[in-house]
Amino acid sequence: MLFTSFDFLIFLPIVFLLYWFVFNRSLKFQNGLILVSSYVFYGWWDWRFLGLLLLSTLIDYFFGLWVDKTIGRKKKLFLYLSILNNLLVLAVFKYYNFFVQEAQHLLDHVGWHTSPYLLKVLLPIGISFYTFHGMSYVIDIYRGNFKPVRSFVDYSVFVSFFPLLVAGPIERATHLLPQIQCKRVFSYEQSVQGLRLILWGLFKKMVIANTLSPIVDNIFTHYNTYSGSTLLLGEFTSPFRYMETSAVIRISHWV
C-alpha cells in the first residue's frame, strides 16, 4: 500500500476515525488498533512478509528483557546476539543475492565458472527500518538509556508503526516509545496541521517528483548525448525524484 495510492486514501481516514472516536477511551485499545492497522498496511504488499516482521519483533523484544536482567559478560553476549541476528536478517534477505552474484562475476573473470544458489524471494519492504528499530532498542537498553517495555503490544507498535515502516525514518525508542505508552488527547489544531503536511507531501511527490522523474531518468539513460550543463542540472534535480510523502510521518503528531 503506497502512501499515494487510493487504498491508503481510504485506509488512513478509517484508522484515524476508529482511533480517536471509537477506541479513544482505552490506551490499550488504541495501541492495539495501531498494531493491527500496521500489520494490515504491511501485509497489503505481501502477507508473507508478516512472518518475518513478527519473528524479528519477538526476538528483539526478548533480547531487550534479557539484556536488562543480566550483567557482565552475559549482558554483552545478549547484545551481540541481538545485533548479529538483525545483521543476518539483512544479509540474507537484502544483500545475499547481490554479494553472491558479484562474487560469481569476479570468479568468471579468472576462469572459474560457478553456479551459486540464489534466494528466490522478494525483498521484504522496509526490512532495514524495522531491523534497525529493533537493534537500536536493544542498544539503548544496554547503554542504560531506556528500560525495556513489558507490553509486547507497545513494543510491536514501536517496531511496526505504519507511517515509519516502509519509508522511515528510523526512530529511537527513547523518543517514540514514551509517546506510545502515554495517554493521548485529541487536538483539532494538530489534526489540521497534520492534514496540511500530508497534502504538502502529496503535492511534492505527485506533482514535483513525478514530473521530474522521467526527465532525470532520460538524462542519465542517455548521458552521452547531453552537454555538461544538462548533466549537472540532472544531478542537482535527481534528489527530487526520490521525494516521498514524508509528511505522512507526521501522523505521529495525531497519536
For 19-40, the pLDDT digits (tens) are 999 998 899 999 999 999 999 9
- What is the per-residue pLDDT across 139-167, written as a single tens digit (0 to 9) for each? 999 998 888 999 999 999 999 998 888 77
- Mean model confidence pLDDT for the chain: 80
Nearest residue to 169 via CA among 101, 231, 237, 247: 247
Say what the pLDDT of residue 166 is: 75
pTM: 0.75
Say what the pLDDT of residue 250 is: 42
Going by pLDDT thresholds of 50, 70 and 90, the confidence category of residue 214 is confident
- What is the per-residue pLDDT across 87-96, written as a single tens digit (0 to 9) for each? 888 777 766 5
Grid cell locating 177:
516509545
Say what the pLDDT of residue 94 is: 67
More confident residue, 125 or 67: 67
Give the pLDDT mean for 54-75.
90
Say what the pLDDT of residue 3 is: 77
ω into residue 169 within 30 of 0, thus cis?
A: yes
More confident residue, 152 or 223: 152
Lowest mean pLDDT among 48-52, 71-75, 228-232, 250-254: 250-254
Nearest residue to 173 via CA among 201, 141, 150: 141
Residue entry with cell 518475518 = 52
Backbone angles phi, psi at 75, to 5 degrees: -60, -45
- What is the per-residue pLDDT across 117-146, written as a single tens digit (0 to 9) for each? 555 556 667 777 888 888 899 999 999 888
Is the per-residue pLDDT at 227 higher than 70? Answer: yes
Nearest residue to 38 via CA among 176, 130, 119, 122: 130
Four-residue CA torsion sign, 92, 98, 101, 107: negative
- What is the per-residue pLDDT across 171-211, written as a single tens digit (0 to 9) for each? 888 888 888 998 888 888 888 888 888 888 888 877 877 78
Say what the pLDDT of residue 249 is: 42
